[in-house]
Amino acid sequence: MSESLPKLLLRRSEAGRGAALWGREAQPHFGRAFDRLLADRVLTERAPATTWPPCRTCDAGCGPRAIAEIDGRFVAECPEDHACDTVLAPHEVRSFAIDPEALVRLIAAATGLPGTPFMVTEGAWMLGRTPTTGRAIVLVLDPVAGRDPDLVALVRAEAPVGCPVTVLLPSGMEHADMRRLTTAGFHAIPALDALAGAAGPAFALDGASLEPTPAREPKVILRAGARSIVLFGRTVKLSQRRFLVAQTIAAAASRRAIASRRDIERALYGNRSVDDRLVADAVRDLREAIAPALPDGIAPADFVQTRSNQGYALGVEHDLIRLDP
């Protein structure tokens, strides 16, 4: 099944200024909805293509091939061997420029956001505020704008003081860029994930995805100052050795990682080389210490799990772990 037209346009818009939709991608969507986008100037048809990429098997170093109309057909001619000419369908030489501002206005209107969208910075728009929660919605089409270290300040300058903010980002953004926005208190998600699809108007954003999911209560809390661990509401005081083991495994688990035996060795013994059995013994001691605090049905070995040839993990989801000073 081909990608929906709204998602296709949003993804193609991530190319920034000069973004375009080629006929081969557009052809499955030709029809009344596509014609409406042309009428609303979201799309503007460009002049037919005059060149085509060289043959995939070309080893002569040829550049783009000229497209000629021969007997009513479009042909990308190979300058070396006409047996390699490519006959193109009429829609393949068509292309459509995408007007990002018109696309932004369409998305805001379909979502029911009042007011007129405006540009926060090149490639990023303030769509408006949700009627129910007053959350400001920012749509970033250009990855360059998403990586801009000034984006947080620019958005805050446009949003009312104290107003919650959701930033919709291009796909493939680096984790560091996402973290910068979430650290600032913004709800940041890929724009493609926010399109409602068949559940609502074609270009509407999913209202539920615009609101952050309420944080769940942690099931595991490590308190370094008290050298204790809280498991499902029950507190266990740990020895220094047991706490370091728990802290190492929990810190890795909170990052969706596995604590290696070497990680635990470093936490307990620094750079000294020690027998592997000492790590296994330390983990066993931790399991024995926390056993009374675990709910019925959860065995210590199921909670502090051994992963063969990898290390140790916790049997709890990463977002249910909290590390306190």
Query: What pLDDT was estimated at residue 1?
Result: 43
Domain ranges (residues) in the chain: 5-98, 100-210, 220-324
Query: Which CATH number is associated with domain 220-324?
Result: 1.10.10.10
Query: What pLDDT was estimated at residue 187?
Result: 93
Q: What is the pLDDT along the chain (325 residues), one digit of tens a residue?
A: 468 899 999 999 988 778 999 999 999 999 999 999 999 999 999 998 888 877 766 655 677 888 888 877 888 777 766 777 777 888 888 999 999 999 999 999 999 999 999 999 999 999 999 999 999 999 999 999 999 999 999 999 999 888 999 999 998 888 888 888 988 889 999 999 998 765 567 899 999 999 988 777 889 999 999 999 999 999 999 999 999 999 999 999 988 889 999 999 999 988 887 787 899 999 999 999 999 999 888 899 989 999 888 899 998 888 889 999 8
Query: What pLDDT was estimated at residue 56?
Result: 67
Task: For the chain, give the secondary structure using H, E and C.
Answer: CCCCHHHHHHHHHCCCCCCEEEHHHHHHHCCHHHHHHHHCCCEEECCCCCEECCCCCCCCCCCCEEEEEECCEEEECCCCCHHHCEEECHHHHCEEEECHHHHHHHHHHHHCCCCCCEEEECCEEEEEECCCCCCEEEEECCHHHHCCCCHHHHHHHHCCCCCCEEEEECCCCCHHHHHHHHHCCCEEEEHHHHECHHHCCCCCECHHHHCCCCCCCCCEEEECCCCEEEECCEEEECCHHHHHHHHHHHHHHHCCCCECHHHHHHHHHCCCCCCHHHHHHHHHHHHHHHHHHCCCCCCHHHHEEEECCCEEEECCCHHHEEEEC
pTM for this entry: 0.65
Query: What pLDDT was estimated at residue 71?
Result: 79
